[in-house]
Structure 1
Amino acid sequence: MDTQDLRELIEDLDQALAIATSRAQAPQSLELASLFC
């Protein structure tokens, strides 16, 4: 496994993490929005 593979793996993990966090935060912001409406 060379550095390029490692870099791509880290990027994939980073992207997956970002998607997971945005999905986790979405319901909360929807709840907040419904409180204000």
Structure 2
Amino acid sequence: MPKTRPAYPAEFRRQMVDLVRAGRDPTELAREFEPSRQT
């Protein structure tokens, strides 16, 4: 069975949507906010 990532909290998802709507690049946000392997 494949491992799935835990769902992000609703508030975090809202913040990401707001940032994209404000003009931030989704790829840049993914790099900035994606958890690293160390976390």
TM-score (norm 2): 0.38
TM-score, length of structure 1 as denominator length: 0.40
More helix per residue:
1
